[in-house]
């Protein structure tokens, strides 16, 4: 058997295993949630977000999907409701502070809070360019600052429980600090972002500002920044760093008030955002996100996952 045939066989086996895992119900001892458990999935009118919402609802949760375009959101919610799933929808543009505030107020009035937040809404890389920076400001504003805005706004609304509330950030391996193929070229900055003693929100924000300034000046090709899908990679680097930072900030909360935050890479998934050019089905891309959201027992926090395995930042 050749290399390609073996790789195909391993991939098919992995897909079979994941499909089987999704079918296995959690035991009563593992199942910490119920039909009153509220999960919010942003950007869930299609693709990975839609599938995460569907799988969470299949597990019996009360799922709220959000969409920047409310008509698209309603269409998605209706499709899930027709499957008999407990799903509702609300308009949300994570770029708009007023929209985020209105959403939080609605959550508070309608549900009193949430148990799970999945930050999926974001902007993908430009498929026509390996080193795209045409939309750098929008990509950084959405993927990093929009995600950060949602976390900051929703943390006060996370419900207290013995199992802990959960935040899952959809990220990417392209944002790894020490990735072999696409690492941050600035060694000193990489060390600062890696070291828990120097990592700070101000450092992450300043790094994004410096990158955008170099984009404006045309000096971003100096080799100090990731060289593949540059703006997207930098935005996800920031999401990963912020996940670690927030995990540390939330680690001292008292018993019953814990919030666990992690990020994960769904892989190269066949969705509209990838032009249907991915090599993994959307069910596989959503699986680890759902697994982290429902993690039984004592969850981990501040970690990066792919295919239900922890990977390095």
**DSSP-derived secondary structure for 197-212:** TT--HHHHHHHHHHHH
Burial class (CB in 10 A: 0-12, 13-18, 19+), 5: exposed
Residue 178 belongs to some domain of the structure: no
| Count of domains for the chain | 1
CATH number (domain holding residue 160): 3.40.50.720
Task: Considering only CA atoms, give the Rg of the chain.
Answer: 19
pLDDT for the residue 24: 60
Instruction: Tell me the average pLDDT across 108-118.
Output: 98
Position 183 confidence tier, pLDDT thresholds 50, 70, 90: confident
pLDDT for the residue 89: 98
Active-site pick, 229, 232, 264, 313: 232
CB 271 within 8 A of CB 48: yes
Share of the chain above pLDDT 90, in %: 76
CB 90 within 8 A of CB 60: no
- DSSP for 255-307, please give it: TT--EEEEEE---SB-SGGGTT--SB-HHHHHHHHHHHHT--SS---S-EEET
Question: Distance of alpha carbon 251 from its chain centroid, rounded?
Answer: 20
Q: Which residue has the tokens 């404006």?
A: 216
**pLDDT tens digits, 10-61:** 666 665 665 565 556 688 778 999 999 999 999 999 999 999 999 999 999 9
Closest to 239 in 3D by CA, of 88, 67, 123, 133: 123
Residue 272 belongs to some domain of the structure: yes
**pLDDT tens digits, 156-177:** 999 999 999 999 999 999 999 9
Residue 16 belongs to some domain of the structure: no
Residue 5 belongs to some domain of the structure: no
Phi, psi angles (nearest 5°) of residue 261: -125, 130
Instruction: Tell me the average pLDDT across 289-313.
Output: 93
Residue 227 belongs to some domain of the structure: no
pLDDT for the residue 279: 67
Position 237 confidence tier, pLDDT thresholds 50, 70, 90: very high
- Mean pLDDT, the chain, rounded, equals 91
pLDDT for the residue 2: 73
Instruction: Please state which of the ranges 38-47, 82-91, 151-160, 224-233 shows the lowest mean pLDDT.
Output: 224-233
Share of the chain above pLDDT 70, in %: 89
Position 179 confidence tier, pLDDT thresholds 50, 70, 90: confident
Helix (H) or strand (E) holding 100: helix 97-111
Instruction: Tell me the average pLDDT across 259-285.
Output: 79
Residue 68 belongs to some domain of the structure: yes
pLDDT for the residue 220: 93
Using the predicted structure, report yes or no on whether residue 236 has a pLDDT greater than 60.
yes
Known catalytic residue: 232? yes
Of residues 183 and 243, the one with the higher pLDDT is 243
Contacts 24+ apart (CB under 8 A), 150-155: 150/42, 150/94, 150/100, 150/117, 150/119, 150/121, 151/117, 151/119, 151/242, 151/246, 151/261, 153/100, 153/101, 153/104, 154/40, 154/104, 154/107, 154/114, 154/117, 155/250, 155/259
pLDDT for the residue 268: 83
Model confidence, pTM = 0.91
pLDDT for the residue 100: 98
Which structural domain range is residue 161 located in?
A: 33-127+142-172+236-311
pLDDT for the residue 23: 57
Instruction: Tell me the average pLDDT across 73-102.
Output: 98
Q: Which residue has the tokens 């969409």?
A: 67
Residue 45 belongs to some domain of the structure: yes
Position 178 confidence tier, pLDDT thresholds 50, 70, 90: confident
Position 6 confidence tier, pLDDT thresholds 50, 70, 90: confident
Residue 119 belongs to some domain of the structure: yes
Phi, psi angles (nearest 5°) of residue 67: -150, 140
């Amino acid at each position: 058997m050749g290399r390609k045939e073996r790789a195909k066989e391993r991939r098919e086996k992995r897909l079979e295993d994941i499909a089987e895992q999704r079918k296995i119900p959690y035991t009563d001892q593992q199942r910490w949630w119920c039909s009153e458990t509220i999960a919010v999935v942003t950007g869930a009118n299609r693709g990975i977000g839609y599938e995460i919402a569907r799988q969470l609802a299949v597990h019996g949760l009360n799922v709220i999907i959000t969409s920047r375009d409310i008509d698209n959101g309603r269409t998605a919610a209706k499709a899930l409701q027709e499957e008999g799933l407990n799903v509702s929808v609300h308009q949300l543009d994570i770029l708009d502070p007023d929209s985020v505030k209105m959403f939080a107020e609605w959550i508070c009035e309608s549900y009193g809070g949430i148990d799970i937040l999945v930050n999926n809404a974001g902007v993908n890389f430009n498929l026509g360019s390996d080193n795209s920076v045409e939309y750098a400001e929008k990509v950084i504003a959405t993927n990093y600052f929009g995600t950060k805005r949602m976390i900051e706004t929703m943390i006060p609304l996370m419900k207290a429980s013995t199992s802990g509330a959960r935040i899952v950030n959809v990220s990417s391996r392209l944002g790894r600090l020490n990735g072999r193929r696409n690492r941050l070229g600035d060694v000193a900055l990489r060390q600062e972002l890696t070291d828990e003693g120097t990592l700070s929100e101000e450092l992450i924000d300043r790094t994004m500002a410096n990158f955008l300034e170099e984009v404006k000046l045309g000096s971003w090709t100096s080799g100090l920044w990731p060289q593949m899908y540059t703006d997207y990679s930098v935005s996800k680097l920031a999401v990963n760093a912020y996940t670690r930072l927030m995990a540390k900030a939330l680690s001292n909360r008292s018993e019953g008030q814990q919030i666990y935050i992690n990020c994960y890479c769904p892989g190269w998934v066949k969705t509209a955002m990838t032009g249907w050019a991915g090599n993994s089905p959307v069910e596989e891309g959503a699986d680890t996100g759902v697994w982290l959201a429902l993690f039984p027992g004592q969850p981990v926090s501040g970690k990066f996952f792919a295919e239900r395995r922890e990977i390095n930042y």
